[in-house]
Chain A
Amino acid sequence: DSGVTQTPKHLITATGQRVTLRCSPRSGDLSVYWYQQSLDQGLQFLIQYYNGEERAKGNILERFSAQQFPDLHSELNLSSLELGDSALYFCASSVGLADGWAGELFFGEGSRLTVL
């Protein structure tokens, strides 16, 4: 058990819909990262938050958005879903010190999204 909690574990929805994935980081970790794993693209970094602020952006679509709340949990919102958004979405957390050294990343079990 990595200590990172993601919900839901599985989600099936239809094209055009919107879903929210939730992540609780390990106790004491300030940085949260979101990754997408699809068959054709591998593990892709989407976005990172540190202590409530966006810190880095990767290959995140405009239809996707995220935030980190004061209690440090994070949510990833996926809207106007398309078939190609079907993937495993991982959240990770790390200590994430202010000077930029992030430390070791620990991953949750993922949320498997299927868009029909």
Chain B
Amino acid sequence: GIQVEQSPPDLILQEGANSTLRCNFSDSVNNLQWFHQNPWGQLINLFYIPSGTKQNGRLSATTVATERYSLLYISSSQTTDSGVYFCAVDENYGGSQGNLIFGKGTKLSVKP
């Protein structure tokens, strides 16, 4: 099955700093989503981005499907950005039904 690798596994930032999280995947995909899991365990949708670039406030994401990677940019980080960021993909082959395969996540800690 498809492999999803995220880097770095851990990241500590000072408030106000910028960061880039990376997601590599081993095969072509129908769907790629980025999630933020907050300290209370909620999985919050950030981006649905199988290809291209999107921006939402201080966050933006780019997926280069032909090279099988996606990047999540966080600018001017805030303490509320802390948590785990997951990349998840849906395999693009016959029979795929939409279920997402998750990477292990990047744990982000933003210090005041």
Residues of chain A at the chain B interface (Cβ within 8 Å): 2, 31, 33, 42-43, 45, 48, 50, 55-56, 58, 88, 90, 92, 94, 96, 100-107, 109-110, 112
Contact = CB atoms under 8 A, between A and B. Distances in A.
Interface of B: 30-31, 33, 35, 41-45, 48, 86, 88, 90, 95-102, 104-105
Given A42-B102, A109-B41, A112-B41, A55 B97 contact: yes
7 contacts: A2-B45, A45-B99, A56-B99, A100-B95, A104-B48, A107-B43, A109-B41
Contacts of A2: 44-45
Contact of B86 (A43, A55, A88): A43
Given A105-B33, A110-B41, A45 B101 contact: yes
Given A56-B98, A58-B99, 18 more contacts: A2-B44, A31-B97, A48-B97, A48-B99, A50-B97, A56-B99, A100-B95, A100-B96, A102-B31, A103-B31, A104-B31, A105-B31, A105-B33, A105-B98, A107-B43, A107-B45, A109-B42, A110-B42
